[in-house]
């Protein structure tokens, strides 16, 4: 697999809306694998395709040691609750901020085998799903941030 360059805030591609994936082929599967490798290399817990310069609705997430999600055309179909917590982003280096997010979200996506999946999430997984799906619509966490966390608070 190949490591990809992560685009940094200020790169116009991060502000564009991604297109749906209409066919799962070797290129898409390789891209998802590259995204996973890049996420691991950068010590992230999630990565969206626009962050590596690809305007496709693809997300990879791994918030624990057991579950790696490769999501094609993910969308949030239901959300509830709200919590404010710290977030950072590989595309916004050296910054962190407090962001309100739903505590529970239902995500629908297509898996690498072409099957429609529905996943009920909570906590960090829900927060990460919201964060990464926002990337697909050109939204960064700093757009929703209510307070920047200073270096001495990190």
In 49-145, where do the E strands start and end?
A: 58-61, 69-80, 83-89, 92-101, 104-110, 116-122
Element (H, E) at 47: strand 46-48
Alpha helical stretches, state H, the chain: 26-41, 123-136
- The angle formed by the CA atoms of residues 13, 17 and 19, to the nearest 5 degrees, is 110
Alpha-carbon 71 to chain mean position: 10
82, 122, 132, 150: which one is catalytic?
132
Q: Residue 26 catalytic?
A: no
Catalytic site positions: 132
């Amino acid at each position: 697999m190949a490591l990809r360059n992560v685009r940094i805030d200020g790169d116009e591609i991060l502000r564009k809306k991604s297109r749906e994936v209409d066919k799962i082929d070797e290129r898409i599967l390789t891209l998802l694998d590259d995204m996973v490798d890049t996420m691991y290399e950068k010590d992230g817990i999630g990565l969206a395709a626009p962050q590596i310069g690809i305007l496709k609705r693809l997300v990879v997430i791994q918030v624990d040691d057991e579950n790696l999600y490769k999501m094609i055309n993910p969308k949030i179909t239901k959300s509830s609750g709200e919590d404010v917590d710290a977030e950072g982003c590989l595309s916004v280096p050296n910054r962190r901020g407090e962001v309100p997010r739903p505590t529970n979200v239902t995500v629908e996506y297509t898996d690498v085998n072409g099957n429609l999946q529905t996943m009920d999430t909570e906590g960090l997984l829900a927060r990460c799903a919201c964060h990464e799906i926002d990337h697909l619509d050109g939204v960064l966490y700093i757009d929703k941030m209510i307070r920047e966390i200073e270096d001495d608070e990190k």
